[in-house]
Structure 1
Amino acid sequence: MRLVLLTVLTMTAFAANSVLNRAAVGHGHIGAVDFAVVRLLAGAVMLGLLVAGRRALTGQAVWPGRRGRIAGPPSLLVYLFGFSLAYGALDAGTGALILFGTVQITMFAGALAAREPLPARRWLGAGVAFLGLVYLLAPGSAAAGSLRHAALMAAAGIGWGFYSLSARGTRDPLGATAWNFILAVPVAGLVVAFLPAPSPDAPAAPAGLLLAVVSGAVTSGLGYALWYAILPGLGAARGGVAQLSVPVLALAGGMAFLGEPLTLRFALASVLVIGGVAAAVRPPRQP
């Protein structure tokens, strides 16, 4: 029962990132780039403190090794900036569904490129999930009205997919995530330095800064830490199935806190995307 409750709490934290970002950026409390940078800084501080505290308590090394340190920070930045920029127009649920579907398709493509054995159900599941995304973005939908933002969220999903692929096999996922956040900070600083200066009449409001800090330190930093703590008990298959709830929870949060509507197109697309991914991650039957 404890594992179930912790899993629900973790998935809620992941979904809350969509709601927090949409509430801050979509409602004009802070710019998308500023939100991403503050979220990154807050996440780096929180994860760094967690790793340092673990070192003091258990003596475990702070540095997780070089594996994944080259691909990790850039792919993390693609995710963070694409995620924030996309929520300038997308609803929380729609953005989460595009992100979720793109991540899974990217990881499927990564497995294909690595020549991993792919059973027919994974091909079928990936195809159904892709059709769901196509339907969600087809002409006449709300997302189709802002294809640029949908493309930004798809880019964020590809970034997170590459991030996940680069982290496979690591023995210290929490330490690896902490250092990816920390190493991404100076790179983000360079990106911001070369961007045009923000409009002086649209400064970041305290509410926007607070939402970005909560997203970085709590729902990202603590959320990732909790996820890596419970994942060994869940296993890869059940962990993958648990993440199917994130777009639904993001939609529920958007409806409850942001007044976003539930459309028939979104419901049907969710069935296709989530159903396809569920088929793909379902473990094979034991003889």
Structure 2
Amino acid sequence: MTKHSLSSATLLFAAVALIFFAANSVLARMALIPQAAQMDAGSFVLLRLFSAVVMLWLLLALSHRTARPASARGSWRSAAWLFLYALSFAYAYRSVDAGSGALVLFGSVQLVMFFIARLKGAHTSLLAVTGVVIAMAGLGYLMWPLISTPSLIGVLLMAVSGAAWAFYTIAGQGSQDPLQDTAYNFLRTLPFCLALLLVLLAFGAVWSSWQGVLLAVLSGALASGIGYAVWYSALRGLSGIQAGSLQLLVPAIASAGGIPFAGDLFSWRLVISTLITLAGIFLVMRNSQR
């Protein structure tokens, strides 16, 4: 079994995708945190997914690429994982603080991807496992001051979101055309969105401000639509354990992005935790094997 070498293109795609993921976290936080919510969670999900569909199909039209058979472009299973991730993520934000949410979400992603990789026969060295532990410690050090006693429902929703995202990521490792696969995955979420819309209307739970609409559209069209297509491009060159470990950097990037965009304060804790997480990821990148 040979080491999974990383190309510069893979690292570039991964870096761009992680920035988009962090942007998603910041946008969702600005739109949904209970203290200053700009819209209800369900409407955020609907606008986010629909905006992503519009953006991705616009990109497909501009790319003039040869269409593959519909059965070979994404899958209903991936679409279900994607919708479940987006839905549980949005509703979890109503009752989980940023620190607890990040730990549960990315901890779930890492654990699910690690164990799935092991079940598929991936070999991991002791140094790689040590790297995962160090990266998780860096994430924990960053989020520890923000952690309060979370609600059980919020934690469960965030864990479900992390697991769903992990399975969606795993499905993307076999993608031959990341843009088409991502576009069709998002398109297939529309029936789920229609069902959610009917539920929201039935219970009169739809409300929003214009700021909320803007945040949801940015989250969908840019951070989700483009970001997830870029992520699928990166996954072609990453093992499951590498992909899971890299995502532990997202909270640090989101925290850095929160300084100019969400009014957060600079902290040396952010610098130290980022260095710890990077050290752990470096060990994983050097030693993870398919």
TM-score range, shorter chain: 0.7 to 0.9
The CA deviation string for residues 135-193 of structure 1, in whole angstroms up to 9 with x for no partner, is 8888x862434454343222211111000112222211221111111001111221342
Q: Is 2:161 the counterpart of 1:159?
A: no
Q: What is the CA deviation profile of residues 54-82 of structure 1, one whole-angstrom value per residue up to 9, with x for unaligned ones?
A: 2x2x4x21546447613201110121112
Count of residues in correspondence between the two structures = 276
Partner Cα separation in structure 2 for residue 276 and residue 216 of structure 1: 31
1:193 matched to 2:198:
yes
- Match 1:211 to one of 207, 212, 215: 215
Partner of 1:14: 21
Instruction: Give 1:224's aligned residue.
Output: 228
Give the match for residue 175 of structure 2.
Answer: 170
**Structure 1 residues 280 and 64, CA, compared in 2 at 3 Å: closer, same or farther?**
farther
Cα offsets for 1:191-212 (capped at 9, x unmatched): 3423574557x72111101110
Amino acid in structure 1 at the alignment position of 2:238: A
Give CA-to-partner distance per residue, 1:235-256, whole Å, 9 cap, x none. Answer: 437x857655422110122233
What amino acid does structure 2 have at the position aligned with 1:30?
M
Q: Which residue of 1 aligns with 2:4?
A: none
Which residue matches 1:113?
Answer: 119
Distance 1:147 1:256, change over 3 A: farther
**What is the rounded CA distance, in whole Å, between the counterparts of 1:260 and 1:84 in structure 2?**
21
TM-score by length of 2: 0.76
State the secondary structure of the residue aligned to 2:216: helix
Unpaired runs of 5+ in structure 2?
A: 1-7
Deviation of 1:49 after TM superposition, in Å, equals 2.0
Q: Does 1:48 align with 2:54?
A: no
Q: Structure 1 residue 124 and structure 2 residue 130: aligned? A: yes
Give the one of 66, 83, 88 matched to 2:94: 88
Q: 1:81 to 1:284 in 2, by over 3 A?
A: closer
In structure 1, what is the Cα distance between the partners aligned to 2:70 and 2:263? Answer: 42
Q: 1:190 to 1:135 in 2, by over 3 A?
A: same
**Conserved 8 A contact 1:93-1:254:** no
Q: 2:82 aligns with which of 67, 76, 83?
A: 76
Distance 2:104 2:281 in 1: 13
Query: Contact 2:97–2:150 (CA<8 Å) still a contact in 1?
Result: no
Residue 45 of structure 2 corresponds to residue 36 of structure 1: yes
Residues 266, 141 of structure 1: alpha-carbon distance in 2 compared, 3 angstrom cutoff: farther
Q: Distance in 1 between matches of 2:276 and 2:87?
A: 27
**CA–CA distance in structure 2, aligned partners of residues 205 and 161 of structure 1:** 32
Match for 1:281 among 276, 285, 288? 285
Matched-pair contact (CA < 8 Å) for 1:29–1:208: yes
Structure 1 pair 106–53 and aligned structure 2 pair: CA distance change class (3 A):
same
Query: Which amino acid in 2 is paired with 1:236?
Result: L
Shift of the 130–225 alpha-carbon distance from structure 1 to 2, 3 Å rule, reads closer
Partner of 2:154: 149
Decide which moves more: 214-223 or 249-258: 249-258
Q: Return the alpha-carbon distance in structure 1 between the equivalents of residues 141 and 15 of structure 2.
A: 29
Give the Cα separation in 1 of the matches to 2:129 and 2:226: 34
CA contact (8 A) 1:143 1:150 kept: no
2:256 aligned partner? 252
Q: Aligned pair in 2 of structure 1 residues 250, 141: CA closer, same or farther (>3 Å)?
A: closer
Q: What is the one-letter code of the residue matched to 1:18?
A: S
Query: Once the 2 structures are TM-superposed, how far is the Cα of residue 125 of structure 1 from its aligned partner?
Result: 3.5
Q: 1:49 to 1:10 in 2, by over 3 A?
A: same
Q: CA 1:271–1:144 in 2, change beyond 3 Å: closer, same or farther?
A: farther
Indicate conservation of the 8 Å contact 2:32/2:94, yes or no. yes
Q: Distance in 2 between matches of 1:245 and 1:136?
A: 11
Whether the 8 Å CA contact 2:100–2:150 is kept in 1: the answer is no
